[in-house]
Structures are given as C-alpha cells and as structure tokens.
Structure 1
Amino acid sequence: MVTLRTLRTRARILDAALDLFERQGYDATTVNQIADTAGVTSMTFFRHFATKDAVLVTDPYDPLIAEAVGAQPTALSPLERTRRGLLAALGDITPTEDATARRRVALVAQYPSLRAAVSVGTGATQDAIVERLVADGVDPLDAAIAVSACLAATTAALLAWGSAPVDVTLADLVRRALALLAPAGATP
C-alpha cells in the first residue's frame, strides 16, 4: 500500500533531482547528491527509483492508464479502446503534474542518452495496457500492436512538448497525436 509519506518522499526526491539536473546537468549529478538534497539516504532513493534515469522516465500512472483503457467498451477495437483510454487518463493530470512532467521532458530532450530510458518506461506502460486488454479477451498480438501504435503517437507528442510554447499543454499535444489514429468519423 502506498502511503502519503511514501508519495511525499518520492516527490522530494523528484524535485531535488530536477533542480540538480537543471542547475548542473544530468551527467554531472550523482544519486548521492540527489539523496543529500532530498534529505534521504541513497538506499531510500533506490527504494523509489531503480536508477538515476528512472527519476525522469518513470511515473506511477501505468495502473491508472490500464484501468482507463479497460473501462472503454469492449465492443471497440483494441486500438480505439487504447486511444480512448489514453485520452480519458489525460483528464486526471493536474497543473502541478503537468509542470513537473514538462521539466522532465525538457531534460530528456536535452540528453539523447536518455532516449533508451524512455523506451524502457514506455515498455512498462505498454505491458500494463496489453495485460489489461488480454484479460478482456483481446488477442495478445492485436493488443500489442494497438498499444504500440498509440504509445508511439503519445511519445512523439511528449518529446515535442519539451520545446513547445509554454501555453501548450501535454494534453493538447497528446490529443492531437491520438486524433491521427482515430477511425473516420470518431470523436477526437
């Protein structure tokens, strides 16, 4: 069970890491510096984030996204269920989460070495959504293809967002990306 204390500690570590990455660069920042700045031990850091790059590319939203996809009507195609589920999950992003995500994305965009970490994070999201679709009777290959298409569009929007004007939200770009995958006549 996730406690409020756990969430606060994770948020402190994330804020400390982002501040240090922005001030002195990702490569020059160590896990020990992040832990010290956050007022935790290195061991506590690693309880929350498996690696330094995980601070930038992991989030606690995979179960929520999978749930949003699972809540879509099973009569829809796997692609449309995934697309609509991702759009539904966007409604749960708070302005604070949006601002933090923008900082994370801007840093990832600066460091090409972090692109592999983005793929790992996306893989975890994909696994959660595919598992949910398969549990509802969708063929595993069909689920994987549908989810891959939607997450590729979402990732492209996410990476473009780091350099978008400040008044453009992540939700704006994700909606635009997923609209391109909508069947003819479907609501964007």
Structure 2
Amino acid sequence: MNRPATPPTGLRERKKAQTRRTIQEQALRLFLSQGYDNTTVDEIARAANVSSMTFFRHFPTKESVVESDDYDPFIASLIEQRPPGEAPLSALHRALGEGLTAVYATDREALLIRTRLILRTPALRARLWENQHATEELLTGALAARSGQEPDLALRVIAAAALAALTATLTFWVECDGEAHLPTLVDEAFTTLGR
C-alpha cells in the first residue's frame, strides 16, 4: 500500500515491507467491514496471518496502522530534488503534484479509505495535528536542504500553508467520495494559494 522513496533491496527488508503491507491492507478491510472501534489488534493480526507481537513490531498502536505510510519521506526527497532557485511554494507544488500523481496511480483506493477513516474517526482525528506538525517540520527541512539554508520562519509558513491547502483538498476529495481527480484538485488548491 505504501510507496517508499526507494524500494527495499534485501530479501529480509522486502519480506518486512510485505508483512507491513499485508497488515495494513487487512486492517483497512476490517475497519471498512466492521468499523474502526469494533476492530481489535488481535483480529487484524489473525486476518494478516501474523501474531499480535508481529503487528506491534510494525505498528506501535492500532491508530498507527492507519496513519503510517512512506509518503512523507518520498515527498521530502522530491522537494530536495527541485531546483534550488525555484520559489519554495512552487517547489512544494511540483513535488507534491508529482508525488501524489504516483501515489494516486498505485494507491488511490487505500489513500481514500485511510483519509476517510482519519477524518471520520475521533481517535484518529484527535492525532491529526500531531501528525501534521511532524509533516510540516519534514517539509520545512526539505525546503531548507534544497536551498542550503536554515529552516526559518518564512519556510515554516510556506510549508504550513501548503500543508493546510493539501489537507483542505484531501477533505474535499473525501467529501466528494473520491470522485474528483485528486492531482487536479491539488493543482487547483495551489493555484488558489499562489494568488
């Protein structure tokens, strides 16, 4: 379900990644069929054909099985690859657009399910600010690394504004039941933000 910045190369790493994917896929399937609150970690582990201990080696909490993905490091690497002279907001727009297009092509349904769960489940929604703060710091760091400068207030504000635009876009996309084309919505959001 996740798109890592670089795929694992060793057999052990590939097996771990596959186990993680299987756990996450089974968790989403169970959450959809019986509800997030009605699903236990033991049920997820059984469905994924692993022990509860294995579940917790990959995900520290039940919430993290929904929240965890490899998108942030992937997006950060795309930001760092943008030209240093490009305006920070434009760099974020292009990197997020490229990353979301790739994720959308391979993980559209899982992204929709996970985002819907996060927005509609109080336990997950309560953790949203904490997760967004970590993403904001990652985006700010990637912007700073790309241009060889220290993370300053301007970069933090740009990263926060871009993240707010992305969150509003994802919320709108979920409200439309995923019928709109997400990469196009992201372009529209960044065009609005750029004004």
Q: Could you state the TM-score of these two structures normalised by the residue count of structure 1? A: 0.86
Give the stretch that moved more between structures: 48-57 or 31-40: 48-57
- Pairing of 1:107-146 with structure 2 (within 5 A): 107-135=117-145, 136-146=148-158
Matches of 1:165 and 1:18, distance apart in 2: 17
Aligned residues: 183
- The question of whether the paired residues in 2 share the 8 Å contact of 1:98 and 1:169 is answered with no
Query: Do residues 10 (structure 1) and 20 (structure 2) align?
Result: yes
Matches of 2:164 and 2:39, distance apart in 1: 29
Cα offset, 1:166, TM superposition? 4.3
Matches of 2:91 and 2:106, distance apart in 1: 27
Give the stretch that moved more between structures: 166-175 or 36-45: 166-175
The one-letter amino acid of 2:126's match is A
Structure 2 equivalent of residue 65 of structure 1: 75
Choose from 69, 92, 101 the match for 1:91: 101
Matches of 1:138 and 1:86, distance apart in 2: 21
Cα offset, 1:65, TM superposition? 0.5
- 1:105-162 per-position Cα deviation (integer Å, ceiling 9, x unaligned): 2222322332232323323322222222222215422221111100111011112222
SS in 2 for 1:156: helix
Give the stretch that moved more between structures: 6-15 or 93-102: 93-102
Matches of 1:7 and 1:169, distance apart in 2: 28
Give the stretch that moved more between structures: 55-64 or 135-144: 135-144
Identical aligned residues as a percent:
36
Query: Do residues 152 (structure 1) and 164 (structure 2) align?
Result: yes
- 1:48-85 per-position Cα deviation (integer Å, ceiling 9, x unaligned): 22221122222102121011111222223322222222
Query: Do residues 47 (structure 1) and 66 (structure 2) align?
Result: no
Q: Could you state the TM-score of these two structures normalised by the residue count of structure 2? A: 0.83
Structure 2 equivalent of residue 186 of structure 1: none
Cα offset, 1:28, TM superposition? 1.4
The one-letter amino acid of 1:155's match is T
Cα offset, 1:175, TM superposition? 2.1
Cα offset, 1:94, TM superposition? 4.7
Unaligned runs of 5+ in 1: 184-188
> Which has a greater percent of helix?
2
SS in 1 for 2:62: coil
Change (3 A) 1:89 1:168: same
Cα offset, 1:29, TM superposition? 1.1
